[in-house]
Amino acid sequence: MRSLVRLFALVALLASPALAWEHWGGDRGGMRFSPLAQITPDNVGNLVRAWEFRTGDLDRRAPEIMKRTKFQATPLFVEDSLIFCSPFNEVIALDPGTGSQKWRYDPKIATSQRPANRYNCRGVAYWVDPQAGEGAACRARIFMGTNDVRVIALDARTGIPCADFGSNGEVRLEVPPLEWPGEFQITSAPVVVGGVVVVGSAIADNRRVEAPSGTVRAFDAKTGKLRWAFDPLVHGGVIAGHANVWAPMSADEERGLVFLPTSSPSPDFWGGKRPGNNEHANSVVALRAGSGELVWSFQTVHHDVWDYDLPAQPTLARIDTGDGQRDVVIQPTKQGFVFVLDRDTGKPIWPVEERAVPQGGAEGEQLSPTQPFPTHVPALLPQRISADDVFGLIPFRDRAVCRAQVEAARNDGLYTPPSTRGTVVFPMTGGGVNWGGAAFDPVNQILYANTSRAIHIVKLLPRAQTLGFNPPPGHDFGQQLGAPFAMTRALATSPLGLPCNKPPWGEMVAVDLKAGKILWRSRVGTTEDRAPLGIAFHWGTPLVNGLVITAGGLAFTGAMDAYLRAFNARTGEELWQGRLPVPGVANPMTYLWKGEQYVAIGAGGHSESGTTIGDSVVAFRLPRPGEAPSLWSRTIDRPGGRFIGMAIAASLVLLLLAITIWRWRRRRRAPSVR
């Protein structure tokens, strides 16, 4: 029976438009699954680089501007084109087989606005007007939200603005007064459902209590007229700022629903002026797409003071729960939780327990005594770290420094409240599953997710101590104006700059949802592009980006090093690496063009992590008859590679140890100078 179910699921997928990539997450529900099976574990090692396209930003923009960018776009494959947006909201259409430019639209974003979330555009949305005649202008439309808060509609065939949408193809959002132009942006792709375009927003964190609201807006896809606006906190009975939807949204066309992953209220780390659970913040919220009416809401964190907002697109899937097939919403979190909710009611499919969590917040704080914990699906990563668990290449130097950082801070486990002493936040505020979201194989009923592991130390600063305060290097500083405390946040790292928690720092995880069982874990990424001499320790890199799963049995993902990787989706074994010009910290996608399967990814680096910055989209495919092997492609012999890596690591540790002892002995012999 299970085999028949899988067969029918695969037939349905092959008969659907999924052979294209019409939405940011592959489909409106963000499953990131493709029924394409031309590339398999047996032949993936033969992949060649098909083409590389450069947007030209590196050549045309000043270096200081490029340092404020994130190239996180996933191309759509629609209208016989690959269509994506650059960090500066230029929309570009490429030939799928050659990567040559077909058209380009530049909205002329000002580069003086100092965007809080850097210049970023994760993707665009596609919609076909069912009432327009074949060949009519703007029958097929591309929608994009911009860094300067516009919503733009373009003809998907030509890139020409749709004159009937707003004013000459654009609508400018009405937002409250801002501290500076870059405080408010749109960075994730809109969703289109039932002829309505829905957009969220990205807003600067930790600036002030009276911050802009996180209102979600919907516009008529034809005219651009505002159809509705939904402020999560106002509808939850709280007057406060943020709870915005900066992450990608999902939609169910048949039900006419749009699903919002909301963020935390402002400011992130002190909530004394927003008492209660702050309902509809930190929640999966289902709205009627046509009216904005609230259908249901499920909160994953009560009264958030840890920046544990929902960063990932809700994944819409149909799963076998053991009691029959159910349409569900799967929501992964920064903490590594996976909540599985009924799509019609928002009720958990499996029990979620309210458990007591650490108390004793800062002065004026009103913490929730409990937090929700899923009981069926295990956490995707550890949620507690002690001083005994820290990592360091040199035990009495690096490890000692890391141990001191953890010991000095308050550390009572998950949901330890921020404090003036400093608090360990683990998983970190950018940990667990981030904006790349999860992927779901509907045939084999397996969920896949990239995860990150690192420690944040968050410290509250009494207002009197902030006058003239300059944060140490590597520390984020938030004024939290209107609150009695400002805040600093820093990664816990060793003197060598390595995370203080033990590797892996980035890992792909596969989960059998029905059984509530983790099937495998696989480290993703090495230190090759960051360590001296290109030493490739197989420790994993942080993975804010997502992955794509194929019916061919593969999982493709990028990382913080400059490779696109393929893993065996059944076992987690790494099979292949394709070299990129810079790290591909974006979600890959796959498509079929003239009988050939391609895998493409945006390669622009990650400015916040200090990688090399780029402006490329790169595509790979299987070789054609007589085509030479690619110098940009290599298979993985992990056992041998691990042995070599361990040998190099041991040699490096011994070298560092010798240097440290030599320097210590010299200091002992040197006369004291006063």
CA distance 277 to 300: 11
Q: Is 27 a catalytic residue?
A: no
Beta bridge partners of 413: none
**The domain spanning residue 519 has which CATH number?**
2.40.128.630
8 A C-beta contact, residue 617 and residue 99: yes
Residue 593 lies in a domain: yes
**Mean pLDDT (the chain, rounded):** 92
Residue 51 lies in a domain: no
CA distance 566 to 148: 36
pLDDT per position as a tens digit, 583-617: 999 999 999 999 999 999 999 999 888 899 999 99
**DSSP tag of 646:** H
Nearest to 125 by CA among 160, 165, 153, 162: 153
Give the contacts of 62 (CB within 8 A, at least 6 positions apart): 111
8 A C-beta contact, residue 45 and residue 560: no
CA distance 505 to 538: 10
Tokens of residue 217, six digits: 């807006």
Residue 400 lies in a domain: yes
Q: Percentage of the chain surpassing pLDDT 90?
A: 84
Tokens of residue 348, six digits: 């958990």
pLDDT of 19: 72
Domain that holds residue 588: 378-455+492-674
Cα angle at 341 between 337 and 343, to 5 degrees? 145
Q: What's the pTM?
A: 0.93
Nearest to 634 by CA among 44, 188, 52: 44
- Give the chain's domain count: 1
pLDDT of 396: 81
Burial annotation 588-625 (CB, 10 A radius, 16+ → b, else e):
bbbbbbeeebbbbbbbbbbbeeebebbbbbbbbbbeee
Residue 58 lies in a domain: no
Give the contacts of 465 (CB within 8 A, at least 6 positions apart): 486
Residue 253 has pLDDT above 80, yes or no: yes
Please compute the mean of the pLDDT values over residues 415-441 and round it to a whole number.
97
Out of 27, 155, 307, 615, the active site residue is 307
CA distance 229 to 242: 14
CA distance 507 to 493: 19
Beta strands in 293-344 (DSSP E): 294-299, 315-320, 325-332, 338-342
pLDDT of 382: 97
Residue 642 has pLDDT above 50, yes or no: no
Residue 429 lies in a domain: yes
Residue 475 lies in a domain: no
Residue 572 lies in a domain: yes
Residue 561 lies in a domain: yes
Give the contacts of 57 (CB within 8 A, at least 6 positions apart): 66, 69, 86, 87, 88, 615
Grouping H, G, I as helix, E, B as strand and the rest as coil, residue 297 is strand
**pLDDT band at residue 648 under the 50/70/90 scheme:** low
